[in-house]
């Protein structure tokens, strides 16, 4: 049975996260765990105060129980976690429980909302051991089965994993899959170590053609018949953020340096969780999981 961890606290963002996690659990048959991290350092060298810890833990449990009662699903598991860092506490829980997904809400400002620098949502992405989904502001007011699923593809292993999972969910729900690859032209349109010749196809044109072929091949490999495939030119973060207005979910990979299976906030994925209008599911940069390990592998059977 797959497991989804939902990070909760007293904020409005928690309601958004619960709504998104419930939508995904409904189509994947996953169990839900509500997790609240309360600020307490368990290190003995810091002068542990058992009574104070118990007070904070009791407060955390009450919050979790209120949220579970409001959710109306008595089978939801509850985790009150003592840690001075919410991202670290959630990371440790995800590793211990071998979670398939962590869902968080976001602290927002602006038109569609932005994940604030330094927030739990952003910091969690730096080292989560599994994919992370970020619910945008107000998602609780418009939760629905996904009808249009977007996927950003760039040829990396993490984006291939994102494409596979997006394809599985689209097939299970009957949603339209739209796959976008964004080509960013080189500033200097010359092959490395070569000079341009008159009448010769430009290097950028050759790269763009190759990118389009790779995109078509990737979509064909997952058997996503009927998927809408688009090759755009421009800045990837800008193009995908603009396109997110038409999506119910956006799947992307994450590139960068870090431990294997870590989701790293890169230039594109990091900006998307701040700027996208729809929920964003970010996948780690490691090689793709097998179908048996896939969060959405059972979705088709349930659909």
Structural domains of the chain in order of their starting residue, each with its CATH number: 1-45+52-143 (3.40.50.620), 144-303 (3.40.50.620)
- pLDDT (tens place) for every residue of the chain, 303 residues total: 689 999 999 988 899 999 999 999 998 899 999 999 998 877 665 555 778 888 899 999 999 999 999 999 999 999 999 998 888 899 899 999 999 999 998 764 434 444 444 466 666 666 678 889 999 888 999 887 899 999 999 988 888 989 999 999 999 899 999 999 999 887 765 655 555 544 445 778 888 889 999 999 999 999 988 999 999 999 898 999 999 999 999 999 876 444 444 444 456 777 788 888 999 998 876 434 445 556 666 564 455
The stretches of the chain forming alpha helices (DSSP H) are 12-28, 50-71, 86-97, 120-125, 157-173, 203-221, 236-243, 267-275, 299-302
Are 24 and 131 in contact, with CB atoms under 8 Å apart?
no
If we measure between CA atoms, which residue out of 224, 220, 274 comes closest to residue 252?
A: 274
CA-to-CA dists, residue 40 to 60, 141, 175, angstroms = 11, 33, 44
**With 0-12 CB in 10 A as exposed, 13-18 as middle and 19+ as buried, what is 157?**
middle
Q: Which pLDDT score is estimated for 122?
A: 63
Query: What is d(CA 269, CA 251) in angstroms, rounded to the nearest whole number?
Result: 10
Q: For residue 16, what are its two tokens?
A: 């958004």
Q: Which pLDDT score is estimated for 268?
A: 77
Query: pTM value?
Result: 0.85
Q: For residue 7, what are its two tokens?
A: 């990070």
Starting at the earlier edge strand, list the strands of the sheet with 249-253: 77-82, 31-38, 3-7, 101-104, 132-134, 280-283, 249-253, 148-152, 176-183, 228-233
Q: Which pLDDT score is estimated for 31?
A: 95
Owner of token pair 């729900």: 173
Q: Which pLDDT score is estimated for 4?
A: 96
Query: What is d(CA 9, CA 224) in angstroms, rounded to the nearest whole number?
Result: 38
Q: Which pLDDT score is estimated for 293?
A: 58
Query: What is d(CA 188, CA 153) in angstroms, rounded to the nearest whole number?
Result: 24
Query: What is d(CA 131, CA 110) in angstroms, rounded to the nearest whole number?
Result: 26
Residues 6+ apart with CB under 8 A from 290: none
Residue 77 phi/psi, 5° resolution? -80, 150
């Amino acid at each position: 049975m797959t497991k989804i961890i939902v990070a909760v606290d007293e904020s409005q963002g928690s309601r958004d996260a619960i709504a998104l996690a419930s939508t995904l659990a409904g189509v994947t048959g996953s169990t839900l765990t509500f997790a609240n991290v309360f600020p307490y350092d368990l290190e003995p060298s810091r002068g542990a105060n058992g009574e104070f810890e118990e007070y904070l833990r009791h407060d955390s449990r009450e919050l979790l129980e209120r949220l579970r009662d409001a959710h109306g699903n008595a089978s939801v598991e509850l985790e009150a976690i003592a840690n001075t860092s919410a991202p670290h506490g959630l990371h440790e829980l995800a590793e211990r429980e071998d979670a398939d997904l962590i869902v968080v809400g976001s602290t927002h400002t602006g038109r569609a909302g932005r994940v604030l620098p330094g927030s739990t949502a952003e910091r969690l992405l730096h080292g989560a051991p599994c994919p992370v989904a970020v619910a945008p502001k107000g998602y609780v007011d418009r939760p629905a089965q996904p009808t249009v699923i977007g996927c950003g593809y760039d040829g990396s292993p993490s984006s291939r994993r994102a494409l596979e999972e997006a394809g599985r969910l689209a097939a299970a729900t009957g949603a339209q899959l739209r796959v976008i690859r964004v080509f960013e032209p080189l500033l200097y349109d010359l092959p490395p170590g070569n000079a341009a010749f008159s009448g010769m196809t430009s290097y950028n044109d050759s790269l763009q053609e190759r990118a389009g072929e790779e995109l078509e091949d990737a979509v064909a490999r997952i058997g996503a018949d009927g998927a809408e495939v688009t090759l755009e030119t421009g800045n990837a973060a800008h193009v995908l953020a603009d396109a997110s207005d038409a999506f119910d979910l956006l799947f992307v990979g994450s590139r960068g340096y870090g431990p294997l299976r870590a989701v790293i906030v890169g230039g594109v994925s990091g900006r998307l969780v701040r700027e996208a209008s729809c929920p964003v599911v970010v996948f780690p940069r490691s090689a793709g999981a097998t179908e048996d390990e896939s969060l959405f592998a059972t979705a088709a059977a349930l659909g």
